Structure 1
Amino acid sequence: MSTDTALPRQRASRRDASRNRIRIVEAARQALVEYGTDVPLDEVARRAGVGNATVYRHFDGRRDLLLAVMLHSMERIAEEAESAYEEVGHPFEALRRFVLRAADERIGSLCPLLAEGFDKGAPPLADTHDRLDRAIVRLMDRAKEAGQLRGDVAVGDLMVALSQLTRPLPGSECTTFDQFVQRHLQLFLDGLQAPARSELPGHAATLEDLRQKREPGSD
């Protein structure tokens, strides 16, 4: 085979491999919503339209795939926060757009991944967390400075609510859950607007608060 024909084929092969990896990660993200972290890898392969061998060629087992899904979703959510800040001039409407679009990423379905033993302080997880933190803080700070966001909330409050409101309820009978997500997020967003109608108990939650491990025996 000549060099003239080998190089284009190699490039095409790399493009195909990249597309397959993206399809696998996206299929795994969707399957996690339904199955949780015990999602069968053959189900992921089926949804991605590839063979099981292709999944294992790209990922060294379930843990490696779950890490890729977590990073992929966090990167997309960070991009949503950054684009909302740049593209929407009204501070609270920028925050609103971010929340509603981030909900489509189903970040709540990724919560079980935090118990999978990943080192959250090591890159690339730490770097992606920091990027996401900075992007959301910038959105929230601008809305607070404009007097449109209540001052007693922080990033952790937003992420807890977003995670809980977009996480499927347990049980196969909850098949209609999705139709209520945007409705309940709208109620939550209304409660974020200033002036606040009540004083929140406790203190505003940061992402650092969420990362801290719960001490054994603590209340």
Structure 2
Amino acid sequence: MKRPTTTAVAAPPAPEAAVDLAAPESGRSRASREGAVPRPRADAVRNRERILAAAREAFVEFGSAAPLDEVARRAGIGNATLYRHFPDRDTLVHHVVLFTTERVTASAEASLAEEPDAFAALCRFTHTAADERIGALCPMLADGFDRDHPELLASSTALAAAVETLLAAGQEAGLVRPDIGAGDLMVALSQLSRPLPGTACFDTDSFAHRHLQLFLDGLRAPARSELPGSAATLEDLTLKTM
């Protein structure tokens, strides 16, 4: 939905020698006001995103113990810049999980809003989430990781709501079999988007997308088989991984 446009209204001229409180301030003067938070510079935002994307890729390849020097190299920055944004490994891991979760949530919402039908939206979301390396999150949720951090809880809740809405839309339209839950989808996605063990495997992304499409075809309604057990919810996954 387009945002409503607004028409700027010129402020009346200030009296001579008076201070124009509506006049634009420099970034430095705004930041110096009591309680004001300076907006990050564009290059700082780009550096932060490059670091998070590079760290996610390094964690996929080497695990969460990946050398931070390697993260900096992949991001194309110096170590000092990395540590300025993320002072230690735990902070970096925290923000990589948050970064990936938020991007996957946005993908679920955009897929449902933009695709012609709910099954096409489900396929688009699943392949996009695989490209976001969501399968790399699971190994990072190890001992010492603060799963109960308010930021992460809010992000996880938003992701669960987006995925459940996406799946429910397909089921209500009669396009997705009714005997699966969001947990089933996320288990398959996390397993199939992880790299295969060992270093001899190459071009695993193409295999991941092939097998994800096979899985998605198995979700089409009407169902051609009866699944054992019951549909897995995201709450089931949370309880089993605590």
Instruction: Give the corresponding residue for 1:206.
Output: 233
Aligned 1:41-120 pairs, distance under 5 A: 41-120=68-147
Shift in Å, 1:6: 7.7
Amino acid of the structure 1 residue aligned with 2:42: R
Tell whether 2:193 aligns with 1:144.
Answer: no
Instruction: Give the corresponding residue for 1:194.
Output: 221
Instruction: Give the corresponding residue for 1:156.
Output: 183
Of stretches 108-117 and 11-20 in structure 1, the one that deviates more from structure 2 is: 11-20
1:14-36 CA distances to partner (integer Å, 9 max, x unpaired)? 33222211111111011112111
CA contact (8 A) 1:148 1:193 kept: yes
Task: Output the aligned Cα RMSD.
Answer: 2.1
Amino acid of the structure 2 residue aligned with 1:109: A
Q: How many Å separate the matches in 2 of 1:67 and 1:49? A: 21
Of 123, 127, 130 in structure 1, the residue corresponding to residue 150 of structure 2 is 123
Q: How many Å separate the matches in 1 of 2:27 and 2:234? A: 49
Q: Share of identical aligned residues, percent?
A: 55
Instruction: Give the corresponding residue for 2:57.
Output: 30
Shift in Å, 1:5: 8.3
Instruction: Give the corresponding residue for 1:172.
Output: 199
Amino acid of the structure 2 residue aligned with 1:56: Y
Of stretches 29-38 and 185-194 in structure 1, the one that deviates more from structure 2 is: 29-38
Amino acid of the structure 2 residue aligned with 1:101: T
Q: How many Å separate the matches in 2 of 1:85 and 1:38? A: 36
Structure 1 pair 197–204 and aligned structure 2 pair: CA distance change class (3 A): same
1:165-214 CA distances to partner (integer Å, 9 max, x unpaired)? 11001101112322211111110000011111111111111111111146
The structure that is helix-richer by fraction is 1
SS in 2 for 1:20: helix
Q: How many Å separate the matches in 1 of 2:27 and 2:129? A: 42
Q: How many Å separate the matches in 2 of 1:13 and 1:207? A: 35
Q: How many Å separate the matches in 2 of 1:6 and 1:133? A: 38
CA contact (8 A) 1:103 1:166 kept: yes
The gaps in structure 2 that reach 5 residues or longer are 1-24, 32-37
Amino acid of the structure 2 residue aligned with 1:54: T
Aligned length: 211
Q: How many Å separate the matches in 1 of 2:139 and 2:237? A: 14
Shift in Å, 1:71: 0.5
CA contact (8 A) 1:63 1:116 kept: no
Shift in Å, 1:37: 1.1
Amino acid of the structure 2 residue aligned with 1:37: S
Q: How many Å separate the matches in 1 of 2:200 and 2:77? A: 30
Q: How many Å separate the matches in 2 of 1:214 and 1:127? A: 18
Q: How many Å separate the matches in 1 of 2:27 and 2:166? A: 49
* TM-score under structure 1 length normalisation: 0.89
Shift in Å, 1:115: 1.1
Q: How many Å separate the matches in 2 of 1:18 and 1:160? A: 32
Larger Rg: 2
